[in-house]
Structures are given as structure tokens and as C-alpha cells.
């Protein structure tokens, strides 16, 4: 519990929450949250920055702060498996957007997802290798209001489709590639807790996809722990290493209310998509 | 700290923050339409009488800035035998007051109706200027909840964009009367037909048809010259355009563009733009391209046809992609 308290005081969240003064919010936003995050999430362990092991693509200016595409690439030749990837958005209310634990069936690591960004912020991809070394790359993204933007453009459409999962499979561009690329799509509002309930005028409690595990057969491709910074309709594009023509990919996702979603897809072979 | 603790913490924080905003009076952001509005007399907006008794002020082709005070959308009023109906009120209380001054320079008849075509700040922020007239504020039945969901953010973001001087007195006023499907209001020998539309530009678009002059007020269902902005459903919008085209009207008033334009010719460039975005996004989804690739390339061939293209195109593509990839 001391950790929790320390973390909260570091981020200045308690002050913001209890006083509710916009000025406090502004001040908290101007402080550099990284030293506190470095301490809380990585226990101040040394981090090698911009060493080429991990790269991050992010727009300089987000077109939609509630839907900012990020792509992370990890150079496996430089990294000993198993690998963990943490995505952080410094100035978001909950800075850790997601943590990915890559398993034995993960391919060349190219992973894309979509996040909410609440204020102009550094976005970080931090990789931990099997040997325990930490590697980070950082991009500054101009975006604001992503966490409080309404989760749904069409408020009525969402309920009908909640929990629907799709796996899209893409043609292999490089026939010799040992990896296949797929995209997992989950219909879920991923309520951040900062969005208003449209009927009552109260804030909607946070409810989001907190856990996703994708396997090829019994072998893990990755497990993800997600937070409120992942966009509505969580979307993860990733690669896996095929084992044979009868591969089946499965996904299990859970949200914070205990909703359990299951999907299973036979893998298409060859170049068709 | 484990990841579980991390997300529990985020949840706790969110609840705490929610309570704090609630304590600040988040619910009262949608203020009741009451309270005196006094201040220096505003300079009236320039208006054009596009048909007998139909006046339109053309907003600037711009995004919110202190210099334009939020005067970026077209604002209209219709004068009947007994009363006046206002259609959209501008992007700040100051613009609303200037619109009210323009109305008063034309007629002394009571302002009985203030109609909002949809939720966007440049169309609703001027409502406060009409509170003293105690009109019925009319909107789509989904307008109130759409505004409630966005009130805090709209006021904060746009207050910052406009600056304190232009933003002074601006607050949101929710509809006091809603259009479920269709509503006819009578200004005295002059009926306006109001129709709540399905999700298109937003999920709360309302159209107004002045049958007397054959004028169709489309709000942001129609953009002319100003690039369309998508905040609802691209499929819904294209489907609705097909229906709206069949309405027999002489002219339409766009939410952004000239004060009036021939109907249905005026909607053709917008239809072409939305069809182009829709087709290119569908193709890229099919090819397995990413949302970032689409945002960087789709629609560029349409660039010369529109003003403010760079401000909205990539965002439109992003929204269209997130919608169409589920097909």
C-alpha cells in the first residue's frame, strides 16, 4: 500500500482529485511525470535509451486524440527472449497504457495498437529482455482530451455489438518471412472513467479490457494487460510464428467487470488474406 | 507494483476524479435557460436575406480563434407573422449576442424558438444570448445526451481556443423540447418542418424545412467549400444524402459555406468526397493497410476542392477507417 500512496503523491493525483481545482490540474500537467514513472514502474533501474533495440512510430500531431495509432518494432537480434513491452503515456491519468508479455509463438515483433492521449505528452515504449535489461524509445505526441472524449460516436450502436471479436489475417508480403501478421479487434467501449454518462450526467465508471491472451494452439503468442488508455474497440495488430497448416489462433479477453470473451480462428494458409 | 495494482489504481483514480468533477458541478454545466444577460449592446452580424423572411449569416472558413470569436458557422433566422425562429447560435455567447442584434435590426417580433442543428460548439455556444427571450430551445432527441457527454471537454477546449474575452458568458443550454422524429412549428402562417435524422455527420443531426420559401436548413449535413467533418458515421451520412437529395427544395443553407446553394446540386461535391474516402478506406482495409497509412494518404486527390482540408481530412479518414474496418 505504501507503493500506491507513493505513486499517487508522485503523480499529484490525490491533490487533483480532492480539490478539483483546474489550476491544480494544469500544474500537475506541467510537471514532468517521467522521474516518478521511472521509479514506480521500473524501480529506477537503468534504461538504455534510443539504442535501436526498440522503435516507435507515432504521429507528431494526433488527428484524433482518442484514437492515436502506435507501432512498435523490436529488433530480436538484439534482444533475448522472452520479452516484455510496456507502453506509457506520461501525461495520461493512468500512464501505463498496456504491458505485453511475448511468448514462444511470437514472431518478429511488430505490434500496433491505438491509444488515447489526454495532453501533449511523451509516449514511451520500454522493452525488458530476458536478461533483465531495459530499453526505451520516446516520441512526443501533440494531442489532447483523448481520455475524456466520448467513447462512442454513435451511442446506440455500441450495446448491440459489445464483446464481438474479430481476427483479420493479412497476406504475407515476404514469402520467406517466418512471421504472419494478424489483427485482433474487440468491440468494447473501454470506458476510461473520465467520460460522462449521457443520461445521468455522472461520470461513467471505468470499465475496460484488462487482459488479453493470444495463443497459437497451446503456445502463447502474447499476453496483454491493458488500461484505460487503450482506445474504444481495442485493436492489436501483431505477428506470430506459424507452426504448420493446421494452426489455430485463440484469443481470450477479459474486462474489468469480469466479462469473458473467447475467439478461435483457423489460420489461412498461403498468400490469401 | 504489479500490473493488477496498476490498473486498480487507475480505476481508483478515475472514480476519485469523477467525484471531484461531480463536486465541481459537472452536472450544472448544462445550465437551465434562465438568468439575466446584460452587457454592452453587440454589433449586429451581417446577414443576407436569401428568401422572403429568411436571413443567413455566413460564418468564416476557419477554426476557433480569438480573432473570430467562434463565428465560423452559418447562423440563420426565419421571421413569421407572429414570431422568429433562430437556427444555430454561433460559437460563443458574444456571437450569439451579435446574431440577436442582427435579428433585432430586422424585426421586433418575439424570438420563440432557438433550434440547434447538432451538438458542435460552433452551432450551440451562442444559445446563452437568447436565454432572456425564454424561447423553446429545440434539438434532436439525442442532442441533450450528446452535449452532456461532451460538455466539460467542449467548454474547456474551446474556451482555451477562443480566449477569455471571446468566451465570456458562454455556457451550454440543452434543449427544452426535443424532436423525436418530426415536429412542425408555426411562426404564424409559416410552418417549419423539423426532422430528427439518423446518425450521419453526428448522431444528433436535425434538418429544418421552410416550406414557404422552399429552403432547407441542413446544418453540418451539408458542407460547401469547407471540407466536411465526420463525427458520426460515414455510411450513415452517405445513406442520408441519398434521401435528402429527394426532398423538393429550391435551396439549402449549409452549416459551412455560402448563405445558400441550389438543392440538390450543392451536395454533389460533398457526396463525391465522402464516396472517395469511403471507397479508398475500404480498399486499404481490404489490402491490410494500417489506419496510420490510410490517414496519411486517403483523400489527397480531393485537396484542391476544399478549404481547411489539412485541418480535417486525416481525421475524417481515421474515423472512417475505425468504422469501416468492422464491415
Across the interface, whether the CB atoms of B149 and A145 are under 8 A apart is answered no
A12: DSSP letter? T
- pLDDT tens digits along B74-114: 999 999 999 999 999 999 999 999 999 999 999 999 999 99
CB contacts, 8 Å: B19 with chain A: 17
Give the closest-approach CA distance of A55 to chain B in angstroms: 16
Query: Is-contact A6 A13, C-beta < 8 A?
Result: no
B130: DSSP letter? G
Nearest to B10 among A40, A94, A273 (CB): A94
pLDDT at B248 over 70: yes
Within 8 A by CB and 6+ apart from B198, the residues are B236, B239, B240
Categorize the per-residue pLDDT at B148 as very low, low, confident or very high, splitting at 50, 70 and 90. confident
To probe the interface with A, which of B2, B5, B6, B233 has the most A CB atoms within 10 Å?
B6
Q: What percent of chain B stands above pLDDT 70?
A: 87
Give the closest-approach CA distance of A271 to chain B in angstroms: 12
pLDDT at B258 over 50: yes
| ipTM score of complex | 0.82
**Which range among A30-44, A148-162, B148-162 has the greatest average pLDDT?**
A30-44
H/E segment holding residue A5: helix A2-11
Across the interface, whether the CB atoms of B146 and A155 are under 8 A apart is answered yes
Q: C-alpha grid cell for residue A77?
A: 537480434
Nearest to A233 among B157, B233, B322 (CB): B322
- pLDDT tens digits along A86-133: 999 999 999 999 999 999 999 889 999 999 999 899 999 999 999 999
What is d(CA B281, CA B300) in angstroms, rounded to the nearest whole number? 12
Query: Is-contact B89 B111, C-beta < 8 A?
Result: no
Predicted pLDDT of residue A2: 32
Q: Nearest-CA residue of chain A relative to B313?
A: A63
Q: List, as ranges, residues 71-110 from A with C-beta within 8 Å of B.
A: 71, 93-94, 96, 99
Categorize the per-residue pLDDT at B283 as very low, low, confident or very high, splitting at 50, 70 and 90. very high
Predicted pLDDT of residue A1: 31
Predicted pLDDT of residue A165: 95
Predicted pLDDT of residue A176: 57
Pair type for strands A165-169 and A180-186: antiparallel
Within 8 A by CB and 6+ apart from B241, the residues are B221, B267, B270, B271, B274
| CA A182 from centroid of its chain's CA atoms | 16
Q: What percent of chain B stands above pLDDT 90?
A: 83
Across the interface, whether the CB atoms of A198 and B233 are under 8 A apart is answered no
Give the closest-approach CA distance of B312 to chain A in angstroms: 8
Q: Which residue has the higher pLDDT, A18 or A101?
A: A101
A25: DSSP letter? H
Query: Is-contact B91 B63, C-beta < 8 A?
Result: no
Across the interface, whether the CB atoms of B157 and A14 are under 8 A apart is answered no
What is d(CA B303, CA B305) in angstroms, rounded to the nearest whole number? 6
Angle between helix B234-244 and helix B309-324 axes, rounded to 10 deg: 100
Nearest-CA neighbor of A167 among A216, A209, A208? A216
Categorize the per-residue pLDDT at A230 as very low, low, confident or very high, splitting at 50, 70 and 90. very high
Interface check for A40 against chain B (CB to CB < 8 A): the answer is yes
Nearest-CA neighbor of A76 among A104, A98, A97, A57? A104
- pLDDT tens digits along A203-212: 888 899 999 9
To probe the interface with A, which of B8, B12, B14 has the most A CB atoms within 10 Å?
B14
Within 8 A by CB and 6+ apart from B273, the residues are B227, B228, B299, B302, B305, B306
What is d(CA A192, CA A163) in angstroms, rounded to the nearest whole number? 17
Q: What percent of chain A stands above pLDDT 90?
A: 60
Predicted pLDDT of residue B189: 94
Categorize the per-residue pLDDT at B10 as very low, low, confident or very high, splitting at 50, 70 and 90. very low
Give the dihedral sign, CA B282/B284/B290/B292: negative
Average pLDDT for chain A: 84
CB pairs under 8 A between A and B: 180
Predicted pLDDT of residue B41: 67
Q: May I ask the CATH architecture of the domain A32-266?
A: Sandwich (2.60)
Q: C-alpha grid cell for residue B33?
A: 435557460
Residue range(s) in chain A whose domain bears CATH number 2.60.40.2470 = 32-266
Query: Is-contact A88 B1, C-beta < 8 A?
Result: no
CB contacts, 8 Å: A87 with chain B: none
Give the closest-approach CA distance of B284 to chain A in angstroms: 12
Predicted pLDDT of residue A270: 53
- pLDDT tens digits along A231-271: 999 999 999 999 988 899 999 999 999 999 999 999 876 54
Across the interface, whether the CB atoms of B1 and A154 are under 8 A apart is answered no
Nearest-CA neighbor of A124 among A81, A147, A95? A95
pLDDT at B146 over 70: yes
Q: What is B29-264's CATH number?
A: 3.60.15.10
Across the interface, whether the CB atoms of A153 and B5 are under 8 A apart is answered no
- What is the residue whose three cell numbers read 422568429? B84
- pLDDT tens digits along A66-90: 999 999 999 988 888 889 999 999 9
CB contacts, 8 Å: B13 with chain A: 8, 13, 17, 93-94, 193
Rounded to an integer, the average pLDDT of B154-161 is: 88
Q: Nearest-CA residue of chain A relative to B317?
A: A63
Predicted pLDDT of residue B14: 36
Rounded to an integer, the average pLDDT of B281-303 is: 95
Spatial strand order of the sheet with A68-74 comes to A54-57, A68-74, A109-115, A235-240, A180-186, A165-169
Rounded to an integer, the average pLDDT of B270-274 is: 98
Across the interface, whether the CB atoms of A4 and B146 are under 8 A apart is answered no
What is d(CA A159, CA A151) in angstroms, rounded to the nearest whole number? 12
What is d(CA A251, CA B274) in angstroms, rounded to the nearest whole number? 35
Across the interface, whether the CB atoms of B10 and A227 are under 8 A apart is answered yes
What is d(CA B296, CA A89) in angstroms, rounded to the nearest whole number? 23
- What is the residue whose three cell numbers read 473520465? A194
- pLDDT tens digits along B197-214: 999 999 999 999 999 999
CB contacts, 8 Å: A273 with chain B: 286-288
Rounded to an integer, the average pLDDT of A54-60 is: 96
Give the dihedral sign, CA B130/B136/B139/B142: positive
Rounded to an integer, the average pLDDT of A42-53 is: 96
- What is the residue whose three cell numbers read 497459437? A216
Q: Nearest-CA residue of chain B relative to A195?
A: B149
Q: Domain spans of chain B?
A: 29-264
Predicted pLDDT of residue B32: 44
pLDDT at B30 over 60: no
Query: Is-contact B172 B151, C-beta < 8 A?
Result: yes
Rounded to an integer, the average pLDDT of A140-151 is: 84
**Which range among A13-22, A149-158, B237-246 has the greatest average pLDDT?**
B237-246
pLDDT at A17 over 80: no
Give the dihedral sign, CA B232/B235/B239/B244: positive
**Which range among A9-13, B155-159, B272-276 has the greatest average pLDDT?**
B272-276
Q: Is A153 exposed, middle or buried (0-12, 13-18, 19+ CB in 10 A)?
A: buried
At residue A170, the 3 state secondary structure works out as coil
Nearest to A154 among B11, B26, B199 (CB): B199
Predicted pLDDT of residue B4: 40
Helical H runs in chain B?
3-24, 93-104, 121-124, 143-167, 234-244, 268-286, 291-297, 309-324
Report the first-to-last Cα separation within chain B, whole angstroms.
40
Average pLDDT for chain B: 89
What is d(CA B206, CA B255) in angstroms, rounded to the nearest whole number? 12
Amino acid at each position: 500500500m505504501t507503493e500506491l500512496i507513493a505513486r499517487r503523491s508522485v503523480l499529484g493525483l490525490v491533490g487533483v482529485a480532492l480539490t478539483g481545482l483546474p489550476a491544480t490540474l494544469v500544474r500537475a500537467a506541467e510537471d514532468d511525470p517521467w522521474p516518478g514513472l521511472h521509479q514506480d514502474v521500473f524501480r529506477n533501474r537503468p534504461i538504455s535509451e534510443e539504442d535501436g533495440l526498440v522503435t516507435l512510430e507515432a504521429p507528431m500531431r494526433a488527428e484524433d486524440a482518442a484514437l492515436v495509432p502506435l507501432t512498435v518494432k523490436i529488433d530480436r537480434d538484439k534482444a533475448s527472449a522472452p520479452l516484455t513491452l510496456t507502453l506509457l503515456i506520461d501525461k495520461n491519468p493512468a500512464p501505463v497504457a498496456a504491458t505485453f508479455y511475448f511468448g514462444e509463438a511470437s514472431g518478429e515483433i511488430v505490434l500496433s495498437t491505438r491509444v488515447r492521449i489526454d495532453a501533449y505528452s511523451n509516449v514511451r515504449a520500454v522493452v525488458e529482455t530476458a536478461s533483465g535489461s531495459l530499453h526505451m524509445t520516446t516520441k512526443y505526441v501533440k494531442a489532447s482530451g483523448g481520455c475524456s472524449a466520448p467513447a462512442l460516436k454513435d451511442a446506440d450502436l455500441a450495446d448491440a455489438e459489445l464483446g464481438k471479436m474479430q481476427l483479420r489475417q493479412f497476406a504475407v508480403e515476404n514469402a520467406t518471412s517466418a512471421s504472419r501478421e494478424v489483427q485482433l479487434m474487440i468491440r468494447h467501449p473501454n470506458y476510461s472513467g473520465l467520460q460522462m454518462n449521457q443520461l445521468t450526467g455522472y461520470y461513467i465508471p471505468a470499465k475496460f479490457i484488462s487482459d488479453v491472451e493470444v495463443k497459437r494452439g497451446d503456445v502463447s503468442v502474447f499476453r496483454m494487460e491493458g488500461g484505460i488508455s487503450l482506445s474504444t474497440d481495442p485493436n492489436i495488430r501483431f505477428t506470430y510464428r506459424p507452426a504448420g497448416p493446421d494452426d489455430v489462433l485463440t484469443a481470450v479477453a477479459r474486462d474489468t467487470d469480469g466479462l469473458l470473451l473467447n475467439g478461435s480462428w483457423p489460420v489461412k494458409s498461403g498468400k490469401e488474406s | 507494483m504489479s500490473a493488477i495494482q496498476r490498473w486498480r489504481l487507475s480505476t481508483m483514480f478515475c472514480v476519485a476524479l469523477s467525484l471531484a468533477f461531480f463536486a465541481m458541478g459537472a452536472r450544472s454545466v448544462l445550465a437551465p435557460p434562465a438568468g439575466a444577460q446584460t452587457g454592452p449592446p453587440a454589433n449586429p452580424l451581417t446577414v443576407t436575406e436569401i428568401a422572403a423572411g429568411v436571413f443567413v449569416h455566413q460564418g468564416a472558413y476557419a477554426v476557433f480563434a480569438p480573432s473570430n470569436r467562434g463565428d465560423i458557422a452559418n447562423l440563420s433566422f426565419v421571421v413569421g407573422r407572429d414570431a422568429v425562429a433562430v437556427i444555430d447560435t454561433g460559437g460563443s455567447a458574444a456571437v450569439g449576442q451579435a446574431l440577436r442584434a442582427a435579428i433585432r435590426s430586422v424585426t421586433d417580433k418575439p424570438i420563440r424558438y432557438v433550434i440547434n442543428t447538432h451538438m458542435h460548439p460552433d452551432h450551440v455556444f451562442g444559445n446563452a444570448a437568447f436565454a432572456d427571450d425564454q424561447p423553446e430551445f429545440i434539438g434532436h432527441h439525442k442532442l441533450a445526451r450528446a452535449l452532456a457527454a461532451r460538455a466539460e471537454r467542449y467548454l474547456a477546449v474551446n474556451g482555451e481556443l477562443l480566449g477569455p474575452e471571446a468566451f465570456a458568458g458562454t455556457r451550454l443550454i440543452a434543449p427544452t423540447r426535443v424532436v423525436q422524429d418530426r415536429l412542425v412549428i408555426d411562426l404564424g402562417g409559416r410552418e417549419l418542418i423539423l426532422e430528427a435524422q439518423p446518425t450521419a455527420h453526428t448522431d444528433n443531426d436535425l434538418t429544418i424545412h421552410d416550406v414557404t420559401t422552399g429552403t432547407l436548413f441542413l446544418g453540418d449535413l451539408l458542407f460547401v467549400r469547407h471540407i466536411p467533418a465526420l463525427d458520426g458515421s460515414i455510411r450513415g451520412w452517405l445513406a442520408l444524402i441519398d434521401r435528402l437529395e429527394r426532398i423538393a427544395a429550391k435551396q439549402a443553407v449549409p452549416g459551412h459555406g455560402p448563405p445558400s446553394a441550389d438543392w440538390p446540386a450543392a451536395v454533389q461535391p460533398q457526396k463525391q468526397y465522402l464516396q472517395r474516402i469511403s471507397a479508398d478506406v475500404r480498399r486499404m482495409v481490404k489490402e491490410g493497410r494500417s489506419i496510420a497509412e490510410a490517414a496519411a494518404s486517403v483523400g489527397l486527390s480531393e485537396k484542391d476542392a476544399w478549404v481547411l482540408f489539412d485541418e480535417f481530412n486525416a481525421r475524417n479518414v481515421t474515423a472512417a477507417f475505425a468504422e469501416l474496418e468492422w464491415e
